[in-house]
Structure formats: structure tokens, C-alpha cells
Amino acid sequence: MVLNVVGSVVGLVKVRLLHTEVDNYIFRLHYRWTTTFCYLACALVAASDYIGSAIQCMDGQGQSVAKGFNTYCWIRSTYTLNTTKTEDAFYGLGNTHLNSHQVTHHAYYQWVPFFLFFQGCLFYLPHLLWKSIEGKMADTLMQGLQFNSMDDERVQKKDNIIKYLKSSWGRNGRYSFVYLGCEVLNFVNVIGQMFLLNAFFDGAFMSYGSEVLNFAFEDDESRYDPMVETFPRTTKCDFYYYGPGGTLQKLDALCVLPQNILNQRIFVIMWFWFVILATVTAMEVVWRIMVALSPMVRVRMLEHRGKLPASPHLEQFIRRLHLGDYFLLDILGRNLDALNFKDVLLGAADAIQDNGNSYKPFYEGDDDDPLVLKRRMETDETTSV
């Protein structure tokens, strides 16, 4: 039984390892790690809301109020006052004086699970867009050579790749520009979500992490936890009802919000993670633009992936590459081992330079057309299986 379970887990790991990489590590930080974090946080908060006790209110004698009162305060929202520790034992609690106190209502907590789920979907969206447009083109082109570098048919498969690169010369621009657009979309998504969270928490998110850092290094006399201010664990709730004589009466209760203990930790982690993620994504976009503008960088990148020495013939070929053709070769270099990629790169250089500029601006359904070659490779792969 144990061996069967271990075998199943190993099988899952093997499937994940045998995966064609058509993006980079920073891209995967968005749709894999950040999306997973958002969904796990959503599950934790939802569990505390609907499995445990989302809110528990008490009256002036410290007695638990009726369930209907808890439901009312959960739906209607609670509030805190801008009191200080010198005025009251608990921050945000005490007698309400409208002339001297500012009332802050807290109605976000019932929407937090849905918001976290929505965030996870937004982080997955650029990957979904790139995956649908890429259409497993690289996976089909490599014909499984990325998984088995010693394939018995590796010579024929490398020849097929070279033929495709030759026939599609200059036609892969959409492939690279869509990927760059998805990387820019990742950056815009992180920045946009920071502003979205700031609006969701009434302007408290943008400075949340920096205030937590300042709090950690303040002296004891002036210490005040900003997490308690943004996500208070104890709040006030007023319930109005008619008494036996028809007089409107007010019940002032103290409400405990266990969910905010989780919210404090989740969103402080999210603040720091978003800052890091936005920084590395911006650096990746800048690097991608540098690669697009610098032929020498492209030369060194492909030579490094193929473990090739500097060669005037190869350098001339790479310099002449269209940006889309370079991007496709770069993806091949990420997935193929150095020896096979070296053969593909040198073979493509010889075939394309000997043929001159084989770019065809109009569609011709001949044997050298890249779409015909791609369909033929898909058919061969299906037949072999």
C-alpha cells in the first residue's frame, strides 16, 4: 500500500519534470507560486469564516449575545474609534464621542475569501493567454527530443527542426511579441493589484508593510502595532431594537474577529511578496528589451546555451536573426541538451545562410511551408504513438 502511494507521488513528480519550458522562472513566480499562495490563503480564510466562528460579540456584562446579533454585525459591519492606548485599554474601543472620535467601519472581512480567489485568477490569466497562443508549438517542434536526448531518431528529428527553422525564417515575430506582452501584463497585474488592495482596505495597504517594519524597530514607549489598526481583532457593533414599551434601545457590544488574525499575516506576507515580485518582473522586462535591442547579447546567449566558442560564421547568422526566430531558438536551447542544441543551431546557420534570405511574404502551400511541416510532425508523432 505504502509503495503504491509513493509510486503515485513519484509519477506526479515525473510528469512535472517532463515538461517543456516555454517561459522563465520569473513568469512561473506569477502563475504558479503566487496563484497557489492566493488559493491557499482563500481556503484558510474561508475555513475560519464558515467552519469556525467568524465573529463573536459580547454585551456589557461579558455575556455572549444571541446568534442573530452576531449575524447582524457580520453583515452590517463593525467599527473602531481612533482612540489611543492612553485613553482606552483596547485600541478602537471606548465611549463614542462624535466630536472627538473618528469612526472607521470595517466591512471588508466578509469579502476577503472571494477577493483572494479573484487575485489568484488574475495572476493565472497571463499564463493562460500565453499558453493558448503558444499552442504547444515548441513541444511539437522538438518531437520529444527534449525528454530523451539519446533518441534513436534524434538525427531525423534535428533535421526536421532545422527544416522548420529554415522555412519559417522571419515568420515568428508574433511568437516573441506575444510573450513580451504577457511579461508586461504580469508587471501591470502586480502593480494594479497593489492599488486594488489599497482601495479594498480604504487606503491602508500601500503603506502597510513599511509601517510594520517601522513598528518592529521602534522603542517600547511609542510602539503601536499597525496590523491591529488595519485588521482589528476587537471592534464595536451597535444593535438597535424596540423595547417592551416601544422605545428604541441601543445595545453596544464588543465583537471579536478571529479571521483578522489570519488577515494580518496573509496581507503582510503579500505586501512584501508583491514588492519583490514587481521588482524582479520589472528587471526581467528591462532585460528582455535589452536582448531585443542588442544583437551582441543575443549572440552570447545562444552561444552559451549551445556551449559553442565564438565563431564569425555563427555570429553573422545570429545577428541576422529576426527577434521571433531568436526567441524560438532560445526556447529550444532551454529544453534541449547542449549537444543537440549545438547541432540544431549550426545546422540552421548553414541551411539558412546557404539559402540566403528564405523569407516568403505570401502563403504558399508547398513542402517548405512551416505550417505544413508542423502538421506533418504532429501526424508523424501521432502515428508513432
What are the pLDDT tens digits along the chain (385 aa)? 434 434 543 443 344 556 788 899 999 999 999 999 999 999 988 887 777 677 777 776 666 666 777 777 777 777 777 665 444 345 656 565 555 556 676 677 788 899 999 999 999 999 999 999 888 888 888 887 877 777 778 888 888 888 888 888 888 888 889 999 999 999 999 999 999 999 988 888 998 888 888 877 776 555 667 788 788 887 777 777 666 666 676 677 777 888 888 888 999 999 999 999 999 999 999 999 999 898 899 989 988 888 888 788 888 888 888 888 999 999 998 888 888 888 888 888 888 776 554 444 333 444 555 555 555 666 555 555 4
Strands (DSSP E) contained in the chain are 56-58, 78-81, 103-106, 234-242, 248-256
d(CA 291, CA 297) in angstroms, rounded, equals 6
| The pLDDT value given to residue 237 | 76
CA 318, chain centre distance (Å): 33
The packing angle between helices 154-167 and 323-335, to 10°, is 160
Residue 253: strand pairing partners = 237
Report d(CA 177, CA 253) in Å as an integer. 58
Beta partners for residue 241, in sequence order: 249
Give the single-character DSSP code of 64. Answer: B
State how far the Cα of 136 lies from the Cα of 129, in Å rounded to an integer: 13
Q: Which neighbouring-strand residues pair with 237? A: 253
pLDDT of residue 6: 42
Beta bridge partners of 239: 251
Q: What is the pLDDT of residue 350?
A: 86
Q: Which of 136, 80, 75, 131 is nearest to 104 (CA)?
A: 80
Sheet of strand 248-256, all strands in order from the earlier edge strand to the far edge: 56-58, 248-256, 234-242, 78-81, 103-106
Contact between 255 and 55 under an 8 Å Cβ cutoff? The reply is yes
